[in-house]
Amino acid sequence: MGRSPCCEKAHTNKGAWTKEEDDRLTAYIKAHGEGCWRSLPKAAGLLRCGKSCRLRWINYLRPDLKRGNFSEEEDELIIKLHSLLGNKWSLIAGRLPGRTDNEIKNYWNTHIRRKLMSRGIDPVTHRGINEQHGSTNITISFEAAWDDKAKVFRRDEPTTTKAAAITHQMEWGQGKPLKCPDLNLELCISPPFPEEKPVVKREAGVGVGVGVCFSCSLGGIPKGSDCKCSSFLGLRTAMLDFRSIEMK
DNA sequence: AAGGGAGCCAACCGCTTATTA
DNA sequence: TTAATAAGCGGTTGGCTCCCT
């Protein structure tokens, strides 16, 4: 059995939105807010799929959208974020107020990719096109136990099945090192430790300070305002604080 | 002026993840 | 615990516009 369709295809419009449809959708959301997308089209008197309404609102009608050309600062921020996050457009968009994931994705594919190529940088790996790739091992391990009361992972306790499940969910190898030709890093992610200062590890004469928050450090949101440092990469399964990522 | 190709972007599709019963 | 459903996400497509020949 396949998934049931999100809407009745036979009675829905497709393709470009008309002015009237836009007005209806905008008026409805202004009056009732963003609620259940599935039931919205009927309630708003639109012959559209809920999914289509959601997309139209998020990508085009939302009043807080910036629109217009990307600034040089936005360009550089997108490049930085992409080098850290890859094609996680929604996460990148979250750091660029007024921009949507779709807009950034399109902009990346049409402008930035070419811009990087012209600089001799591979847009996928963010390394020089002519650079030789070295081999890399990435090992991610959790040494923590899940505290069900506090809903947090606690360090310095034996690894639990839940911690192992997260490793599995991240698809980073079930304990086996992941070979990645594009990075020369060995990473070790451990759970957050609120009172602890950011970890700085030095090895082979190279110090890596990693008290990093995307919002604060990359300039998206002023520190202390709306910054939610603890929701690292949107991972909700466990509270992974980027401050606790150790690099060696 | 017309035809064709390239670029751009809105919208769709299908998959994954989260939530609910 | 499991299945069904809803929402979210990223890749892809299709159509419009612009530019070049």
A82-119 pLDDT, tens per residue?
888 888 898 888 888 889 888 898 888 888 888 888 78
pLDDT number for residue A171: 34
Query: Near strand C (CB < 7 A), which residues?
Result: A 1, 3-4, 6, 15-16, 35-38, 50-51, 54, 87-91, 101-102, 105-106, 109, 234
> Residue A209 corresponds to which tokens in the numbers above?
């300070």
The answer to pTM > 0.75 is no
- Is the distance from CB of A89 to CB of A102 less than 8 angstroms? yes
A153: left (phi over 0), alpha (psi -120 to 50) or beta: beta
Mean pLDDT within A65-76: 84
Whether A10 CB is under 7 Å from strand B:
no
Give the pLDDT confidence score for residue A68 in this predicted structure: 80
pLDDT at residue A54 tops 70:
yes
Per DSSP, the residues of A25-46 read HHHHHHHH-S--TTTHHHHHT-
**% of chain A exceeding 90 in pLDDT:** 0
Chain segment A115-137, per-residue pLDDT in tens: 888 788 888 888 887 765 544 44
* Nearest nucleotide (C1') to alpha carbon of A61: B10
Q: What is the pLDDT of residue A10?
A: 54
State how beta strands A206-209 and A200-203 pair: antiparallel
Query: Which of A 80-109 have CB under 7 A of nucleic chain B?
Result: 102-103, 105-107
The nucleotides of chain B lying under 7 Å from a protein CB are 7-19
Rounded CA-CA distance A58/A53 in Å is 9
Which tokens belong to A128? 């020089």
- Average of per-residue pLDDT values in chain A: 61
The set of strand C positions with any atom below 7 Å of a protein CB reads: 4-12, 15-16
Give distance CA A130 / C1' B11 (Å): 37
Q: Which has the higher per-residue pLDDT, A93 or A234?
A: A93
CA-based nearest residue to A247, from A184, A193, A192, A194: A184
Length A65 CA → B7 C1' (Å): 23
pLDDT for A215 equals 42
The share of chain A scoring above pLDDT 70, in percent, equals 48
**How confident is the model at residue A7, as a pLDDT?**
55
Residues 177-216 of A with CB under 7 A from strand B: none
- Whether the CB of A52 is less than 7 Å away from nucleic strand B comes out as yes
| H and E: helices and strands count for chain A | 9, 8
In three-state form (DSSP H/G/I as H, E/B as E, the rest C), the secondary structure along A47-68 is CCCHHHHHHHHHHHHCCCCCCC
User: Which residue did the predictor score with more confidence, A195 or A33?
Assistant: A33
Buried b (16+ CB within 10 A) or exposed e, A25-41: bbebbeeeeeeebeebb
**A60 and A23 in contact (C-beta within 8 Å)?**
no
Asked if the Cβ of residue A110 lies within 7 A of any atom of strand B, the reply is: yes
Report the pLDDT value the prediction gives residue A131, as an integer from 0 to 100.
64
Among the ranges given (A63-72, A125-134, A196-205), the one the predictor scored with the smallest mean pLDDT: A196-205
Give the residue with greater pLDDT, A18 vs A164: A18
